[in-house]
Amino acid sequence: NFIMTGAVDDLWINPRGELIVVDYKSTSKQEKVTLDAEWQMGYKRQMEMYQWLLRQLGFKVSDTGYFVYCNGKTDRKAFDGKLEFDIDLIPYTGDDSWVEGALLKVKKCLNGKIPKASPGCDYCNYREAVQKIK
């Protein structure tokens, strides 16, 4: 048994009756918001996992999802108790074909033996430092 859960920000329905996964993001930067940075690949994978989960539950799901990106305006002279945002609607065509295989690998890893600590592992060093503090 392997339980996977998630919390979708929003679901829309298109004219074909398909669910559209919508994910809200916020930032505050000068440049135009895109999904091109390597670190944003995690956002895309998250969207694809939600699409996959909804399909597993029997829903018709659009391959196209949307990121609603709220970009805080930094050029205001005064705060005056309010934040202002530029809002971008960024479509993303997901491909969830990788999800099931990845989850099977995760399950196999979790059921496997715990690896020995390694001095080159940042996480191992962190855990060792935490144990010393306790």
- The Cα 49–Cα 43 span in angstroms is 10
What residues make up the domain containing 79? 10-133
How many structural domains compose the chain?
1
Instruction: Say if 4 falls within a structural domain.
Output: no
Instruction: Say if 85 falls within a structural domain.
Output: yes
Instruction: Say if 15 falls within a structural domain.
Output: yes
**Tell me: the pLDDT tens digits for 40-53?**
899 999 999 999 99
Instruction: Say if 5 falls within a structural domain.
Output: no
Of 61, 69, 126, which Cα lies nearest the Cα of 99? Answer: 61
What is the per-residue DSSP string for 68-93? EEEEE----S--TT---EEEEEEEEE
**Tell me: the pLDDT tens digits for 50-108?**
999 999 999 999 999 999 999 888 777 777 778 888 899 999 999 999 999 999 999 99
- Encoding tokens for residue 47? 């969207």
Instruction: Say if 42 falls within a structural domain.
Output: yes
